[in-house]
Structure 1
């Protein structure tokens, strides 16, 4: 893929995922983050939360898939930054929380493309200022 073939405003294919409590347990095991707000309604509500919430880094990592699926090679990601703006609450059911991710090319330079990523759950943006820079070429 060359920079000549990519324009500012290009929309990347969207991605929608359902994060379930089982996903949170798997992520906790992989990351070592066993904070009970990610699996226990009792612990989460005791802290004033409306329920169990997904790990921020799980949401952030899943958002990056919009770009890596598009570019085809995760090794081409040279920078990624975001802010966590709202939590993703995950109900204790088989459906979980639906999170939709989209990406738009916001800048193109000689060999780097910048993509702005949006993540929305229940109509609310859950990531802010998410930007991914990817290097083009081999």
Structure 2
């Protein structure tokens, strides 16, 4: 990236068109988290849930797409998140990244980013922070 982002600049994208039950169960297999809240519909309902729900870490992974599509995966240095509401099958997830700070150190910059992921009802399901490192002094060969 040759141009530094500016504080307040926003990038938003749909990170998942539709969360599916298959996607949730596949994530359980990859993560090893087979909690009945994620994999067993009757157990989730008996626990008072409307359905099985997506893993928080799955939501975090999907949300990271907005940062990696903007700056590249190689630039990502830190990423943290707080899960604020469940993600359900059928949810469409949109993540908005806002540049919170740009700290320049020589020909490198550390960019702090605030993330908010919402479902199709506009409900906040994730609030997070990320940092990327940009070397804006080197020229591609």
**Root mean square deviation, CA, Å:** 1.5
Q: Tell me the CA shift for residue 81 of structure 1.
A: 1.2
CA offset digits 1:110-130 (Å, max 9, x no partner): 1100111110012210112x1
Q: Tell me the CA shift for residue 75 of structure 1.
A: 2.8
Q: Structure 1 residue aligned with 2:100, among 103, 106, 113?
A: 106
Gaps of 5+ in 1: 91-95
Q: Is the 8 Å Cα contact of residues 116 and 131 (structure 1) preserved in structure 2?
A: yes
Q: Tell me the CA shift for residue 13 of structure 1.
A: 4.0
Gaps of 5+ in 2: none
Q: Tell me the CA shift for residue 5 of structure 1.
A: 2.6
Q: Is the 8 Å Cα contact of residues 54 and 89 (structure 1) preserved in structure 2?
A: yes
Q: Which residue of 2 is the match for residue 68 of structure 1?
A: 68
Q: Tell me the CA shift for residue 77 of structure 1.
A: 1.3
**Pairs within 5 Å for 1:24-43:** 24-43=24-43
Q: Which residue of 1 is the match for residue 88 of structure 2?
A: 89
Q: Bigger shift: 7-16 or 20-29?
A: 7-16
Bigger radius of gyration, 1 or 2? 2
Cα distance in structure 2, aligned partners of 1:50 and 1:108: 42
In the superposition, the TM-score normalised over structure 1's length comes to 0.87
Q: Tell me the CA shift for residue 14 of structure 1.
A: 1.5
Q: Is the 8 Å Cα contact of residues 51 and 88 (structure 2) preserved in structure 1?
A: yes
Hey, which bits of structure 1, 4+ residues long, moved more than 4 A? none
In the superposition, the TM-score normalised over structure 2's length comes to 0.85
**Pairs within 5 Å for 1:5-24:** 5-17=4-16, 18-24=18-24
